[in-house]
Amino acid sequence: MTVSESGTSALDVDTDDERVAGLVDLVTVADGTTDTIPVEAPFDGEQVGAIPACGEADVDVAVERAREAQQSWADRSIAEREEVLSRFQDLVLDRQSELLDVVQLETGKARRTAFEEVQSCALTAGYYSHRGERFLGREKRKGVVPGMTQVEVNHTPVGVAGLISPWNYPFELALSDALPALLAGNAVVLKPAEQTSFTALKGKQLLEEAGLPADLFQVVTGRGPDVGPAMTDRVDYVGFTGSTETGRIVGEQAGRNLLKYSLELGGKNPALVFPDADLDRAVEGLVHGSFSNAGQLCISIERCYVHEDVYDEFLERFVAATENVELGTGYDFEAEVGSLVSEEQLEKVTEHVEDAKARGATVHTGGEPRPDVGPYFFEPTILTDVEMDMDLCCEETFGPVVSVYPFSDTDEAIAEANDTDYGLNASVWTGDTEFGREVARQIRAGTVNVNEAYAAAYSSIDAPMGGMKDSGVGRRHGPEGVKKYTEPQTVAVQKGQGMAPPDGVPYWLYAKVTTGALKLFDKVPGLR
């Protein structure tokens, strides 16, 4: 098995769109890999190019090259690694327009949503570029015997981190997970979603322009069943963002291999609107929180619980605001909502809505595909009278569809919000922020926003983000988001007397003195 000097083998792959021209050359492939996968633009369904359909042999090459590059990268100072992230942030901001074009081309999302995605990635790069030493430097800890036991903790890189990223936020969720892994001294092998691999390759291109060694960040494109298991068998850490169903498979394989892993999975996220909420603000926030990226966002709102005192007024305003949402395919900032990513996604959303309608749900607005706008567009949709036996009630729809329910008291609302296998994100709307915090603490979700749908918590990069219950394992963002890519190592230096009784001292006396010392240490604040 060989690989060319540049890290790729020559493939006869046509690229039909100049915005992604040359990016396929950044894929790591082994000699003999010739199969390809077409990539289409959701706005019009036309093919824009093709990517290599990689498999086990290609993963072998990628991991081998990454592992060879990792040691010299880990030997660099944390400050040097921070500089690469800082330069990457500058490139993302300076080249924003071309990035937005590629993101829109592959996902079909509105440019506003693409802008949010690119800005979030830049925010992550900037955050970690200033905190490497704080999070990864040697930590002094208290020793068992004050003054005689000196303890420090080192954060050593795991080695090669394998990341499997989804199609809905292909730039942010590929790069924002890779950046802290690289900062921690690891190499990365990335398997992006086959629908949106060009976006991830654009990120690799910018990282290398920022000074990252080329072999350190490998991209292997292809179908999940062909690449994912092979990667999980070869890397030292696996991170996955996607469906709960696939996450269980990844977690099971990682467990068999005794790998550290993180999973950010599905959500059926609730919003709770209390009678003292600012309804104008709540309606505006929940229109964005429910329909941004055509609802293809794991932390978007799919269930709204509204207090009966304001239910009718909220629903009327919510429907009116949703009917004014502008759909579009433009590469400008005019449209608010773009396309679903594929025919498969359109079919799933349509099936959920049609099942609910057939079982008695009421559609207040939307409810239909919009082929007049583009092949995979679906109208922003609001339903009521959604019951537990409907797929729409409990399963993640991942589309521009939200159901609205009345409630009569706080305990009922919290119980309804928690009545799901998921626990990723939630939203609370109230004029009393202390009350909002108290409600939030009772909701079993990894992030809860008060008077916001999702952006306040997700964009606060200093705080951890992830799911409870079936919504995942582990966290991204904050110190947790970089330390997960390390192995903590404790180094203890003992001075003077060791941990055993001195020669000639009977053990009963040693035990008595040690017990007295422990009692003393517990009562003296400086010794605890």
Catalytic residues: 264, 298
Q: Any idea which residue has 């922020």 for tokens?
A: 433
Give CA–CA dist 471/19, Å, rounded: 35
Spell out a b/e string for 153-176, using b for 16 or more CB atoms within 10 Å of the CB, else e: eebebbbbbbbbbbbbbbbbbbbb
Q: Residue 89 in contact with residue 124, Cβ under 8 Å?
A: no
The token pair at 33 is: 């890999």
Q: Residue 170 in contact with residue 115, Cβ under 8 Å?
A: no
Q: Residue 226 in contact with residue 129, Cβ under 8 Å?
A: no
* DSSP-derived secondary structure for 56-97: HHHHHHHHHHHHHHHHHHHHS-HHHHHHHHHHHHHHHHHTHH
Pairing of strands 149-157, 486-494: antiparallel
Q: What angle do CA 289, 293, 295 make, to 5 degrees?
A: 60
The token pair at 400 is: 């521009």
Give CA–CA dist 338/104, Å, rounded: 9
* Residue at 476: amino acid letter: R
The token pair at 120 is: 């979030």
Pairing of strands 269-273, 301-307: parallel
Q: Which residues contact 125 (CB under 8 A, 6 or more apart)?
A: 85, 86, 88, 89, 92, 175, 176, 179
Smallest CA-to-CA distance from 452 within 344, 300, 302, 310 is with 300
Smallest CA-to-CA distance from 117 within 54, 200, 3 is with 200
Q: Residue 266 in contact with residue 298, Cβ under 8 Å?
A: yes
* DSSP-derived secondary structure for 387-440: -TTSHHHHS---SSEEEEEEESSHHHHHHHHH-SSEESEEEEE-S-HHHHHHHH
The token pair at 177 is: 């997970």
Give, for 263, the enclosing helix (H) or strand (E).
Answer: strand 260-264
